[in-house]
C-alpha cells in the first residue's frame, strides 16, 4: 500500500509495543518496548529462547492478541482492519490438516467458509498446490503424505487467499534436519517467486541465517528485541552458502546476541 507521496508503507510498523498478560500468578510482560519495521519483500526471522514473545508478536500482527501499549500497523492499517482485509496467511507449527478431507478439501475449506465459488476454490487450490510442488497430491488424504509434505500442504492452505504477508510460527520445528533443509530451500524459492513478505519464528540459528533478510533476536523476562540484524547475504542462496565465512560470521553474531540476552534453551 502506497501513501499520498507514492511511498510504499512498511508492511509492519511497531512502535513502543507492549503486551502484558494478567494471570492469576501476576502480570507477565510478554512484549516490552518493541520497535520494528518490516518492509515489503523482507524475510524476517524471530529467534530467541522459549517465552521471549515470538509467538505473541506474530499473534499481535494477526489480531489474535491485543497490545496493552504502543502501536502497530499492518499494511498501514490496524491489525483488525488488516485481518478483515485478509492481509496475511498463517502457518502453525503443526500442519493441522483435517484427516477426513483430501489435501484439496483441506485447502478449499477456508475458501469455502468465506464464500468463494467452487470453481474459484479449485482454481486457487490448484495454483497453490503447484507453488508448493504438491500438484499430484490433491486427492490424497493427509495420512498418505510425509510430515514434510503435510507441512507444505498447510503452507499452500495459508497461501490460498493470496495475501502478501505470510506469518509462519515454527513451521518446520518438528521435522528432521534433512527434510527441514529441503523445505528451507523450497521456501526461499517460493518467496523469490511470489515476492511475499514473510515473518518466521524459529529456534534454529542456521535456519534463521539461511532464510532471512532480517534477523530479530529476542530475549525473555520481559520479552523484548535485543538485536535486529540486516543480512548481507545475497537473496539467492544455495544450501552450501552455510559454509561461507559471511554465513558463519552472521550465525556467530546471532549466537552472541542470544547469549547476551541470557538465552538458555536455543
Ligand atoms: N494467553 C496467555 N496468557 C498468559 N500468558 C501468556 C499467554 N500467551 C503467552 N503467555 C506468556 O507470554 C510469554 C511469551 O510467550 P510466547 O508464546 O510469545 O513465547 P515464545 O517466544 O513464542 O515461546 P516458544 O518458543 O516456547 O513458543 C510467556 O511467558 C508465556 O507464558
List the alpha helices (DSSP H) in 173-234: 177-194, 205-211
Distance of CA 59 to the CA centre of its chain: 11
> What is the predicted ipTM?
0.97
Residue pair 241/199 in contact by the 8 Å Cβ criterion: no
- pLDDT tens column, 111-158: 998 889 999 999 999 999 988 889 999 999 999 999 889 989 999 998
Ligand 1 environment, Cβ below 6 A: 21, 23, 28, 30, 48, 50-56, 223
Distance CA 181, CA 108 (A): 28
Do the beta carbons of residue 221 and residue 264 sit within 8 Å?
no
Cα 24 to Cα 27, 50, 68, 205: the distances in Å are 8, 21, 18, 34
Model confidence, pTM? 0.90
Find the 91 Cα to ligand 1 centroid distance in Å. 17
Domains of the chain: 1-87+163-266 (3.40.50.300), 94-162 (no CATH)
Number of residues that make up the chain:
266
The model's pLDDT over 57-102, given as tens digits with 9 standing for 90+, comes to 999 999 999 999 999 999 999 999 999 998 898 888 887 899 999 9
Atom of ligand 1 nearest to the CA of 51: 19
Residues 6+ apart with CB under 8 A from 14: 34, 35, 36, 37, 57, 70, 71, 72
Amino acid at each position: 500500500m502506497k501513501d499520498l507521496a507514492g511511498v510504499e508503507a512498511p508492511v509492519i510498523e511497531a512502535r513502543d509495543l507492549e503486551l502484558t498478560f494478567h494471570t492469576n500468578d501476576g502480570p507477565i510482560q510478554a512484549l516490552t518496548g518493541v520497535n520494528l519495521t518490516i518492509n515489503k519483500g523482507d524475510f524476517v526471522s524471530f529467534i530467541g529462547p522459549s517465552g521471549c514473545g515470538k509467538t505473541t508478536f506474530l499473534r499481535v500482527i494477526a489480531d489474535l492478541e491485543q497490545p496493552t501499549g504502543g502501536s502497530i500497523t499492518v499494511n498501514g492499517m490496524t491489525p483488525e482492519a488488516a485481518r478483515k482485509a485478509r492481509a496475511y496467511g498463517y502457518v502453525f507449527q503443526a500442519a493441522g490438516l483435517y484427516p477426513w478431507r483430501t489435501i484439496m478439501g483441506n485447502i478449499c475449506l477456508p475458501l469455502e467458509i468465506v464464500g468463494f465459488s467452487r470453481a474459484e476454490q479449485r482454481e486457487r487450490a490448484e495454483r497453490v498446490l503447484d507453488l508448493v510442488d504438491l500438484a499430484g497430491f490433491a486427492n490424497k488424504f493427509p495420512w498418505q503424505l510425509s510430515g514434510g509434505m503435510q507441512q507444505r500442504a498447510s503452507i499452500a492452505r495459508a497461501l490460498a487467499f493470496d495475501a502478501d504477508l505470510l506469518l509462519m510460527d515454527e513451521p518446520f520445528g518438528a521435522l528432521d534436519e534433512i527434510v527441514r533443509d529441503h523445505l528451507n530451500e523450497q521456501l526461499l524459492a517460493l518467496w523469490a517467486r511470489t515476492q511475499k513478505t514473510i515473518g518466521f519464528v524459529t529456534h534454529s540459528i542456521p535456519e534463521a541465517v539461511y532464510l532471512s533478510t532480517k534477523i530479530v533476536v529476542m530475549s525473555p523476562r520481559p520479552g523484548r528485541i535485543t538485536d535486529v540484524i540486516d543480512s548481507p547475504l545475497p537473496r539467492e542462496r544455495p544450501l552450501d552458502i552455510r559454509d561461507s565465512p559471511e554465513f558463519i560470521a552472521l550465525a556467530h553474531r546471532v549466537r552472541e546476541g542470544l547469549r547476551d540476552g541470557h538465552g538458555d534453551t536455543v
